[in-house]
Chains A and B, each alone.
Chain A
Amino acid sequence: MLVEVLFWVFASVLAVSALAMITVRNPVHSALLLVLCFFTSAAIWLLIEAEFLAVVLILVYVGAVMVLFLFVVMMLDINIEEVRARVTRYALFGGIVAGVVVFEIVSVVWTRSLGLDVTTGAQAQPAGYSNTAELGKLLYTDYVYPFELAAVLLLIAIVAAISLTMRKRAGLKQQNVSAQVAVRREDRVRIVKVEAVRPETTTPEKGA
């Protein structure tokens, strides 16, 4: 019973924050409301016992992706009024499309054509069951190549993001590392043969 009540609370928070996210004027508020959406979703995923993904959602999305979004939103000074000028022109059309999407999904769900008793919940996992351990076993055996490919994809994303946003500034003093490494001894060291010269100063003689 408590789980159902919590689900309704979280579901309404999620729906309201998603609606607010697409309608508020300020992009910073939108980003913060999206953080709330992710947080509430993680709570719902915890309710249906997908603990690892709930934690990953908070760590990756709230901790990394949304911070990146907030950085970009705050870094660019966007003229909000100009961007938001003709909002209502498409609001009706968007609402109609959204209504159709909801109607279709709800009708599909209610027909129960999946051959699956959707009205009863799944059995709760036994005590001592570890979602993370199960996921880890599968991820490092059956899905090890996709896992490594995902790592390569993230590396590509890092390289692409850095190379896109890096810019050369004029007048910036930099080292030319390859020139430094390629330098030879002959380029830098000059051996000068200096003849030894007897000093011309007269030393006082001993007996004088």
Chain B
Amino acid sequence: MIPLNWLLILSGVLFAISVAGMFINRKNLILLLMCVELLLLAVNFNFVAFSRYLNDINGQIFVFFVLTVAAAESAIGLAILVVLFRERRSINVEDLSTLKG
């Protein structure tokens, strides 16, 4: 079987890549949402790996709930994005400075 630390390092690498993606694509709102999805996937990797190696299936239940919340989050996020694009004709984060005061 696969050692646990391989899985943990893979999940760490995935997490780091998506954090870097947030810095690189910090102006494109759609890519920011995609990076959030990738972050949640990396977290789920840890849950699944530990659940499997500690023989405790409760961790996989948590992945289930994380998937639910992530689906709801991306649905609402994309709805807000569509409304925003309709109002501003842009999804550039720098154009969204209304709340700055």
User: B31 within 8 Å of A by Cβ?
Assistant: yes
A150 close to B74 (CB less than 8 A): no
A69 close to B78 (CB less than 8 A): yes
- A85 cross-chain contacts in B, Cβ below 8 A: 27
**Given known A73-B30, A122-B52, contact A3–B83 (CB-CB < 8 A):** no
Q: Which of A53, A76, A156 contacts B48 (CB 8 A)?
A: A53
Interface centre among A52, A121, A138 (most CB of B within 10 A): A121
Task: Mark out the residues of chain B between 43 and 62 whose CB falls within 8 Å of any chain A CB in the assembled complex.
Answer: 44-45, 48-49, 51-55, 57-58, 60-61
Name A155's closest neighbour in chain B (CB-CB): B72
B1 close to A95 (CB less than 8 A): no
Interface residues of B, dominant DSSP = helix
Bound CA–CA A7/B33 (angstroms): 27
A41 close to B41 (CB less than 8 A): yes
Name B58's closest neighbour in chain A (CB-CB): A138
User: A113 within 8 Å of B by Cβ?
Assistant: no
- B60 cross-chain contacts in A, Cβ below 8 A: 50, 52-53, 131, 135
B79 close to A164 (CB less than 8 A): yes
Task: Mark out the residues of chain A between 150 and 180 whose CB falls within 8 Å of any chain B CB in the assembled complex.
Answer: 150, 153-154, 156-158, 160-162, 164-165, 167
User: A9 within 8 Å of B by Cβ?
Assistant: no
| Known interface pairs A53-B67, A161-B75; 19 further A-B residue pairs with C-beta atoms within 8 A, sorted by A's residue number | A4-B2, A18-B14, A22-B17, A22-B35, A48-B49, A61-B37, A69-B33, A78-B30, A78-B91, A102-B12, A102-B13, A116-B53, A118-B8, A121-B2, A122-B52, A131-B60, A157-B73, A164-B79, A164-B83
* B interface list, Cβ under 8 A from A: 1-28, 30-31, 33-35, 37-38, 41, 44-45, 48-49, 51-55, 57-58, 60-61, 63-65, 67-76, 78-83, 85-86, 91-92
